[in-house]
Structures are given as structure tokens and as C-alpha cells.
Amino acid sequence: MTTTDKAPATRARLGSAPDSWGVWFPDHPQQTTGTRFLDEIAEAGYHWMELGPYGFLPTDPSQLADELAARDLHVSAGTVGGAFHKKDELEALTQEALRVAKLAAAVGGKYLVLLPAMYRDLLSGDYLEDKTLDTEGWKQFIRSCEEVSRAVQQETGLRAVFHPHADSHVETQQQTYRWLDDTDADAVGLCLDTGHIEYGGGDSAEIMRRYPQRIEYMHFKQVDPELMKTVRDKDLAFADAVKLGAICEPPKGIPTAESIAAQMHLLNPELFVIVEQDMFPCDPDDPLPIAARTCGYLRSVPLAL
């Protein structure tokens, strides 16, 4: 790799998210507190962050802005999830997206990350729906992604990016390609989550080469290839895979940071690269040292600033 190839990647903006502190819910007895998360993400060396589940951090914009400023932290995005394939849930999903987007925008956020509903129960692993959508379900999925994204853009100015996810109806590389081919690029972009793509047996670097213009935001995550064999052999749900340790600390998994950095010249040089190492549930003392090591490692590659 030449210096020219690597140089643009060093302008990417590195951050992390509550997910890397084991936070999946607004409040849960097995999660750390919002105050401790803010203290520790700053201590780990990050300056950019996502808000996580709505309600985990203060929802009053003034209070949240003060908490961020006190730690020299800046918001890249908010996140919202829902059943995009269900027409009768579109209105509620839109309103929730606007609620999150307005908070993110009020504290300087630029993006809203859209997460699809999972076809397995997050905690029990029970199958709730079929793995694949029928024709009408897929068409509604696409329509809802575009309509929610346009509403968010119009009312808040935030750009929406869609996030493929394990145990959802867009989890594999081919499903991601189908989503990209069927959506309006003017309405919504792609949040490439490297770990979820690898979890689904895909190749994140290949997606970067094939659709560089659609990748507007990135979650960097790695999976342990040996543990993923167990996940697939036993048909484990995502939460069980996380408990097993399948989502691992860099540089122990795939894709390698080097393989992603090699393609970064294809993307917006000021792309957000947000670390997401799923850890729910975890000992509250575990995330900080992992986050600090990860931050230093990704800057040394260099994947991002």
C-alpha cells in the first residue's frame, strides 16, 4: 500500500458509541450509566460519539449539550430502529425517527442511523418472523426507508443512513446489494457496519469497491471467525453470539482494519468511522480499557484520526 493510498483515510473522523460500553437499552440494570459512559468515552481518547438508545443520555438538548461540552465530545449521529416492512408501523416509526433526529440535530449531529427490526427476539432468540420478506414486504421496506429518511431530512436537516444488521431482513451482502439497488440514493445512504457484514458471511471491502458513492457512514466492528463457526453451526441468535464473544476487540477479528483502510480512498475522506463492539451484558469495568486500546490501534493503522 502506498502513502498516497493511505493518506485520505487519516482524515476520517473516529468515534465510538454506547454499544461499545454494553448499552442496548435506554435503561437496564446490567448497563453502565450515561454519566460514566460520557466520562469514559472521553478518557478513552474519542471526541466523536453516537447518542445510543433514546433516553440513555439526557434528552433535554441544553443539558445534553452541557454534558458534551464539559468533555469535549461531539455527536455524529442518533439511531432509531423499527419494522420498516410493516406499513401500519410507518407513522409511529417516522415520529420516533423525528424525535431522535431533532435531539441529535440540536447538539450538532449530522446523521440518523436507521436500524431494521430483527426477525428473532433480541434476548430470547426466538424466531418472530421468516428470515426473508415476500415481495410486498420488501417493497414496503424500501418505501419506508425512503419516506422516513425524507421526513428526517426535511424537518431536521439530518441525513439518514441505513444499517444492515444480523438477524434482520437485510443482513447478507446480497441483501445489502438489493437494498442499494432498490433505494433512491438521493433519499438515503448506507451505514456500512463491517462486523455485521462479516457476521452475514460478506466482504465489507468488496462493498466499498462496488458502491463507494453510497457509503456515507461507517461502523467499524470485527467478528471472531472461529467463534462465528459455532454461531452458524448452532444457529445462535445475535445476543447469544455477543455473549459468546463473537464480536471481538480489534485487531483479533475480521475484517482487518488494514483491509478497510486500503479502500478508504474511495470514500468521503471525512467519513465518520464509529467503533461498535457489542458487549451486552458486560462488567462495567471492562469497556474502558478495551475502548482505549481500540482507539489507539485504529489511529495507528491509520483507519481514522
> Domain holding 96: CATH number?
3.20.20.150
In a domain, 290, yes or no: yes
CA distance 175 to 177: 5
- Listed in sequence order, the DSSP H helices in 87-193 are 90-106, 135-156, 173-182
Record the pTM.
Answer: 0.95
Q: With a cut of 50, list the residues of the chain below it in pLDDT.
A: 1-9
Query: pLDDT at position 305, please?
Result: 77
Paired strand residues for 74: 48
Three-class SS state of 6 = helix
Omega before 281 within 30 of 0, i.e. cis:
yes
What pLDDT score does 11 carry? 86
Q: In sequence order, which ranges of 170-282 are alpha helices (DSSP H)? A: 173-182, 194-199, 204-210, 225-233, 238-244, 257-261
Q: Does the residue 252 lie in any domain? A: yes
Triad 19, 23, 29: Cα angle to 5°: 165
pLDDT at residue 55 in the model: 98
β-bridge pairing 247-248 and 74-82: unpaired
What is the domain range of residue 284? 3-300
Task: Kindly state whether residue 226 falls inside one of the protein's structural domains.
Answer: yes
241: which 3 cell numbers?
A: 453470539
Q: Is the dihedral of CA 303, 280, 111, 209 positive or negative?
A: positive
Pairing of strands 272-275, 74-82: unpaired
- End-to-end Cα distance, the chain: 18
Residue 305 belongs to some domain of the structure? no
The per-residue pLDDT for 151 is: 98
Domain count, the chain: 1
The pLDDT assigned to 10 comes to: 57
> What pLDDT does residue 141 have?
98
